């Protein structure tokens, strides 16, 4: 547990470093959206072409979206190499905002506790992915210098 990094708020550079890297957030969000779109499309093709009875896929869809957010947070945290919880949480929050707007617009949810629970799950999944991304071996060591330019 001693070598596990959750947050690192050192100001060794004299406070000149940025806290939030928007290019890494954008890349993590693109990864999360791309993975979820690809897997949900594959699941839709399976449902269309399969003769198996498909009754309720809501749990599967929530697992797919949470897994995609974990991967997005992981990519974002690995790219930045620090502040993994913050960056992963932001990726999860932005994804959850898109999720909430689309599900309310399509009439799947209204403003109810089920939607709030799904939003909290997505935010927690993003934070967990960011922590794992920062703690991957070799994450952010070579790329952090290039991220300072953005």
Tell me the C-alpha distance between 48 and 46, whole Å: 5
Q: How many Cα neighbours within 13 Å face the side chain of 82?
A: 16
pLDDT tens digit string along 43-77?
A: 989 888 988 787 788 888 899 999 999 999 999 99
Tell me the C-alpha distance between 118 and 114, whole Å: 6
pTM, entire model: 0.79
pLDDT tens digit string along 2-35?
A: 566 665 555 555 555 678 889 999 999 999 999 9
């Amino acid at each position: 547990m001693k070598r596990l990094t959750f947050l690192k708020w050192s100001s060794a550079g004299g406070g000149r470093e940025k806290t939030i890297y928007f290019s890494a957030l954008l890349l993590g969000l693109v990864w999360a959206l791309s993975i979820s779109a690809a897997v949900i499309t594959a699941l839709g093709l399976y449902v269309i072409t399969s003769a198996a009875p498909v009754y309720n896929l809501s749990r599967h869809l929530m697992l797919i979206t949470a897994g995609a957010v974990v991967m997005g947070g992981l990519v974002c945290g690995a790219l930045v190499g620090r502040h993994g919880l913050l960056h992963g949480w932001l990726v999860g929050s932005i994804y959850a905002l898109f999720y909430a707007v689309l599900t309310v617009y399509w009439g799947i949810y209204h403003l109810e506790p089920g939607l709030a629970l799904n939003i909290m799950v997505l935010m927690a999944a993003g934070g967990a992915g960011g922590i794992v991304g920062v703690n991957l071996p070799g994450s952010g060591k070579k790329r952090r210098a290039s991220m300072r330019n953005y």
